[in-house]
């Protein structure tokens, strides 16, 4: 598996795990400037840990949808270029602003990822990547609505949360429905379940059609 430049496997307490270089954010261990990237707290971290080829590269321009309080997007900003972090809830955005103080390339946006027209004037077009981690029904719709920001050869890297779509159905059935909808605007390159790090989640790597 090829990791982006700026993401390495480093040893922490005798265990080799993912790490990025940057200021600590959530109490993670730091060794020689490298922050441990806890895959159990990060769907993207788990995606890397599971060996998926995301196509992400160091210096990429990234739109991160569902940034929450900045746990994962802080790692993304450590290796990426301009990183636009969209989060709907005001409380996490306050934390996100604190994370951005140490990262000049991280731009928090208090916006709804389902309404990209509200931040289209801020976010660059033809970005290298969209990373999506939203807990809402209609996750494929969010990905399709934000496809406009991706370069033709860009990558979508997302985590589908089955329970956010429908708690009454089996996750596999939910995943199939979401992927079918996603294929209306993307070519799905690879998928993988994220257990044991995250139950009922499916990692997806895709490129725009």
Domains defined for the chain, CATH in brackets: 39-208 (3.40.50.150)
Averaged pLDDT, 8-33: 96
Handedness of CA 131, 135, 139, 145 (dihedral sign): negative
User: Which one, of 102, 94, 92, 91, lies nearest residue 83 by Cα?
Assistant: 102
Average pLDDT over the chain, rounded to an integer: 97
The pTM (predicted TM-score) of the whole model is 0.97
Q: In what order do the strands lie in the sheet with 83-87?
A: 106-110, 83-87, 62-65, 127-132, 150-161, 201-208, 186-193
Averaged pLDDT, 176-184: 98
- Cα–Cα distance, 55 to 93 (Å, whole number): 28
Instruction: Check whether 13 is labelled as a binding-site residue.
Output: no
Instruction: Check whether 71 is labelled as a binding-site residue.
Output: yes
Query: What is the structure's pLDDT at 162?
Result: 98
Averaged pLDDT, 151-176: 97
Instruction: Check whether 134 is labelled as a binding-site residue.
Output: yes
Query: What is the structure's pLDDT at 168?
Result: 96
Averaged pLDDT, 60-67: 98
CB of 47 within 8 A of CB of 203? Answer: yes
- Cα–Cα distance, 169 to 172 (Å, whole number): 8
- Cα–Cα distance, 22 to 95 (Å, whole number): 16
Instruction: Check whether 11 is labelled as a binding-site residue.
Output: no
Query: What is the structure's pLDDT at 1?
Result: 62
Instruction: Check whether 136 is labelled as a binding-site residue.
Output: yes
Averaged pLDDT, 179-197: 98
Query: What confidence tens digit (pLDDT) does each residue in 98-154 have?
Result: 999 999 999 999 999 999 999 999 999 999 999 999 999 999 999 999 999 999 999
CB of 62 within 8 A of CB of 54? Answer: no
Instruction: Check whether 54 is labelled as a binding-site residue.
Output: no
Instruction: Check whether 112 is labelled as a binding-site residue.
Output: yes
């Amino acid at each position: 598996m090829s990791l982006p430049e700026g993401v390495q496997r480093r040893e922490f307490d005798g265990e080799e795990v993912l790490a990025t270089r940057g200021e600590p954010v959530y109490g993670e261990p730091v060794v020689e400037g490298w922050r441990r990237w806890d895959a159990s707290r990060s769907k993207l971290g788990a995606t890397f840990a599971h060996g998926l080829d995301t196509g992400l590269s160091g210096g990429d321009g990234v739109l991160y949808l569902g940034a929450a309080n900045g746990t994962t997007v802080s790692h993304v900003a450590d290796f990426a270029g301009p990183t636009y972090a969209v989060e709907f809830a005001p409380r996490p955005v306050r934390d996100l602003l604190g994370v951005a103080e140490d990262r000049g390339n991280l731009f928090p946006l208090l916006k709804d990822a389902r309404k990209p027209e509200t931040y289209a004037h801020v976010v660059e077009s033809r970005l290298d990547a969209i990373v999506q981690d939203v807990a809402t029904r209609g996750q494929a719709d969010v990905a399709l609505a934000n496809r406009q920001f991706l370069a033709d050869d860009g990558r979508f890297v997302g985590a589908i949360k089955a329970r956010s779509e429908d708690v009454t159905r089996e996750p596999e059935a939910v995943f199939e429905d979401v992927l079918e909808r996603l294929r209306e605007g993307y070519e799905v390159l690879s998928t993988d379940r994220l257990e044991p790090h995250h139950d009922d989640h499916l990692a997806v790597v895709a490129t725009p059609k």
